[in-house]
Structure 1
Amino acid sequence: MALPAMLRSLRHHNYRLWAAADLISVTGTWMQVLALNWLVLSITHSATSVGLGLLLQAVPTLALAPLGGAIADRLPSRRVVMAGQTAQMALSALLALLAAGDPSGPMGLYAISFVSGAVTALTSPSLARFGMEIVGPEDLSNALSLGSVLSSGGRILGMSMAGVVIAVVGVPGAFAANSASFAAVLAALMLMRHRELHEVPKAAPGERGVVAGLRHVLRTPWLLVTLGLAFVLGSLGRNYQVTMAAMSDGPLHGGAGGYGALSVLFAVGTVLGGLFAASRSRLSLALLPVMAVACSVGQMASGVAPNLAVFGALMLPIAAAAVVIDTTVSTRVQLDSPGGLRGRVIAAQGMVGAASGAAGGPALGALCDLLGPRAALVLAGAVSVTAALAAGAALLRLHRKGALARTGPDQAPPALPRGPAGRRMAVR
């Protein structure tokens, strides 16, 4: 029976394995995120200490992502992914043992968080490259879209299960469950049919190394515009965990319950955005500034929302647009970059995401404290609208000059040979 276009990636045997493993893995990840934050908070009684742990996981991406990209463009993706997932499994198991020993301070937890961030930085580009090997270029955007839906579902499921697991068996049980979830990913990798993988070209000898990747990014105008817009949106337009909390605690008077409800609505919006992106046959660069303007205007409107219900209703389209933006950027970065440099371009995208998160959270928090959350949302939204319009104008000029990339699902390059080769589409 033919699958709907929205689910076309599921016709691939390998992707069906990967999708099931993805859901299990993301669920485990969010169980660990909540358990780790709770454990650090219970030890230190300091929200700042929790933030430091999150920062320690993000810092390695800024330092090691270029090396991870070079690894992705040179070594077999499947082997790198298996090594990374095995390492993360061991680190989660170590967290479980450390938590079972009733730690008196957070330093051991911080150390494991830092190492986990380093493993992620070194293997994430290979994980992303492996996504194309699973489904091929024609279904990549659909696979990324479905991956965002699975990630949202896994996030909701993991956050829900974490509370139950911690209450029943304690924090170590949540870490142990996450460690076990990596077994699903490793099993999926081993059960994949090698003959159905789509080979992606590796870097030529003269194209290897971090410098070659950086040179390509700096010499590709459409890529600079895209990553620049992604940075602005990721820093000022996307840190809703900060602004939702500030609005709920402040002018909307929603309290902790209101913040929880807003978080659920935001997650539902991400599912809707993923389904919309999955239904489209192509995600073009032209869609990027349009969705960016829509998301940013919604952000400005949320700043003047009269009550919690209206603010929550605005979270749905804002979150949906955010997912479409992310999926479009990821799709174009992968499909419109040379195969031998793709891992390093993906790494550059990862660095932009890490930098925007690291810069945006404190910046929006400071704006909320200085101007109030309403003014912060309106101001940040206005800056994001300006950036989106500027990016749209720049992309239009590049299009008229013929300087945009020419590849994609509807302008596909010659078919790559199929055969043995050797994600996260978004596992971690």
Structure 2
Amino acid sequence: MVESSGSPGTFAALRVRNYRLYATGMAISNNGTWMQRIALDWLVYSLTGSSFAVGVTTALQFGPMLFLGLFGGLIADRYPQRRLLLFTQSAFGLLATVLAVLAFTHTATVGVIYLVAFGLGLVTVVDNPARQTFVGVMVPARLMRNAVSLNSGNFQLARLTGPALAGVVVATAGPAWAFAVNAVTFAATLTALTLMRSAEFEQLPREPRGRGQLRAGLRYVAARPALLWPIVLLFFIGGFGFNFAIVLTAYAGEVFDGGPGLYGWLNSTLAAGSVVGALLAARRPTVSARFLFGSAAAFGGTLVLAGLAPTLWLLIPALAACGLAGVGFNTSANSSVQLATDPTLRGRVMSLYFLVLMGSIPIGSLIVGGITERWGPSVALVISGAICVVAAGSCARLAGRETHASDA
């Protein structure tokens, strides 16, 4: 889990033309995606007045990863990632258009929104492993950690600006315009993918068709503590730490009565810390197991602090700290798992990574949504943070024990 190379510089991967095109397209598209997420959460909340319904919407967007995630990874190992991304990004744009039409025509119902959310989840099954493994195609291995961190910074920067834009748009013009803007932004990603030079891609081996390939990926992870325990920890961090949509809608709509504008700003505050965390991660040439598990424990601690914050002005810096610690763990785990994996298995391993991360979110969203509805968002944050701290300590101890046993 530790590399010995020197620091590549914060923005080293942007010197690669194909990656630069990709990052530019995603910077535009990510803003639209975050606008849609905020608008969709708020639309569901405004239709139902229920944090639990927001949790169900989140669960439907990530639930398909529980059942189909490994198949998405196998597809990413077999077929060119750029071709897959051209398909998935087009599908996302089409679904955003459907949401816009429903909202503009005032025909959106919770049932129809649930169907669209499920469609987004099905596309994500292929999109996530394809996007993650595409990094290794665009940049050489020595720049992979840097590129993963910049991807996270790109995503989190959009998380900073997208929710703020969504708050203004939803409050002044309604959620339909946020969905419409998101649909248009996918043209940037599709253009970037089209303009890439395939001759400059890294040549990675492809997995031929064969029997038992999904089981082979699972056995590969199970036999390696450096892969197994970070992925196990993801279940707890994803399920209980990354369900901010549920608690922040309750803070904005019930605790502080600030409406969609405050909801957008709370998400932007969280993202501000995440951007700082991603840029710091991009400068790290190495990531130790101690840092990986320690950042997860720190993230849990900041969740507890946020839950204990008695006022909005204390909640805001606590959320920024949550973002910084959370992205520190996320980028470290992502890049470490990719670099420790054989390229022929990377799609399946990363699909398992996201199966656990995104598959845990619907499970956690139902639990966190229920706690939020019954006892409020503060209690939900404290309980979620405590679970993350305990999980980080337990996984660190088990990883260390198995590593020592295998070295003996």
1:135–1:4: structure 2 CA closer, same or farther, 3 Å change rule? closer
| Superposition deviation, residue 63 in structure 1 | 1.6
1:211–1:145: structure 2 CA closer, same or farther, 3 Å change rule? same
Counterpart of 1:52 (choices 49, 56, 59) is: 56
Count of aligned residue pairs for this structure pair? 400
1:162–1:309: structure 2 CA closer, same or farther, 3 Å change rule? closer
Structure 2: gaps of 5 or more residues: 1-6
User: TM-score scaled to structure 2, two decimals?
Assistant: 0.86
The corresponding residue for 1:87 is 91
The corresponding residue for 1:299 is 303
Q: Distance in 1 between matches of 2:56 and 2:381?
A: 25
The corresponding residue for 2:385 is 381
1:56–1:389: structure 2 CA closer, same or farther, 3 Å change rule? closer
The corresponding residue for 2:4 is none
The corresponding residue for 1:309 is 313
| Superposition deviation, residue 49 in structure 1 | 4.0
1:7–1:355: structure 2 CA closer, same or farther, 3 Å change rule? same
| Superposition deviation, residue 29 in structure 1 | 1.0
Q: Distance in 1 between matches of 2:193 and 2:404?
A: 43
2:204 equivalent to 1:200: yes
| Superposition deviation, residue 383 in structure 1 | 3.4
CA RMSD of aligned residues (A): 3.0
Q: Distance in 1 between matches of 2:361 and 2:295?
A: 20
Q: Distance in 2 between matches of 1:379 and 1:159?
A: 26
Structure 1: gaps of 5 or more residues: 405-428
Q: Distance in 2 between matches of 1:42 and 1:254?
A: 16
SS for the counterpart of 1:6 is coil
1:329–1:207: structure 2 CA closer, same or farther, 3 Å change rule? farther
Counterpart of 2:357 (choices 341, 353, 359) is: 353
State whether residues 301 and 386 of structure 2, in contact with CA within 8 Å, keep that contact through their aligned partners in structure 1.
Answer: yes
Q: Distance in 2 between matches of 1:218 and 1:116?
A: 30
State whether residues 204 and 340 of structure 1, in contact with CA within 8 Å, keep that contact through their aligned partners in structure 2.
Answer: no
Q: Distance in 2 between matches of 1:167 and 1:367?
A: 28
2:367 equivalent to 1:363: yes
Structure number, greater radius of gyration: 1
Alpha-carbon deviations, 1:293-346, whole Å to 9, x = none? 222233334444454433432333322111010111111221111111111111
Identity of aligned residues (%): 36
1:396–1:244: structure 2 CA closer, same or farther, 3 Å change rule? same
1:309–1:159: structure 2 CA closer, same or farther, 3 Å change rule? closer
| Superposition deviation, residue 283 in structure 1 | 2.7
State whether residues 60 and 362 of structure 2, in contact with CA within 8 Å, keep that contact through their aligned partners in structure 1.
Answer: no
The corresponding residue for 1:421 is none
The corresponding residue for 2:293 is 289
State whether residues 164 and 264 of structure 2, in contact with CA within 8 Å, keep that contact through their aligned partners in structure 1.
Answer: no
2:156 equivalent to 1:152: yes
Q: Distance in 1 between matches of 2:318 and 2:42?
A: 29
Q: Distance in 1 between matches of 2:43 and 2:217?
A: 39
* Aligned-partner residue type, residue 16 of structure 1: R
Deviates more, 1:65-74 or 1:139-148: 139-148
2:65 equivalent to 1:61: yes
| Superposition deviation, residue 380 in structure 1 | 3.9
The corresponding residue for 2:189 is 185
Q: Distance in 2 between matches of 1:185 and 1:63?
A: 27
The corresponding residue for 2:23 is 19
State whether residues 285 and 328 of structure 1, in contact with CA within 8 Å, keep that contact through their aligned partners in structure 2.
Answer: no
Counterpart of 1:111 (choices 106, 109, 115) is: 115
The corresponding residue for 2:139 is 135
Counterpart of 1:332 (choices 329, 336, 343) is: 336
Q: Distance in 2 between matches of 1:11 and 1:43?
A: 47
Q: Distance in 2 between matches of 1:386 and 1:167?
A: 39
State whether residues 149 and 281 of structure 2, in contact with CA within 8 Å, keep that contact through their aligned partners in structure 1.
Answer: yes
| Superposition deviation, residue 378 in structure 1 | 4.3
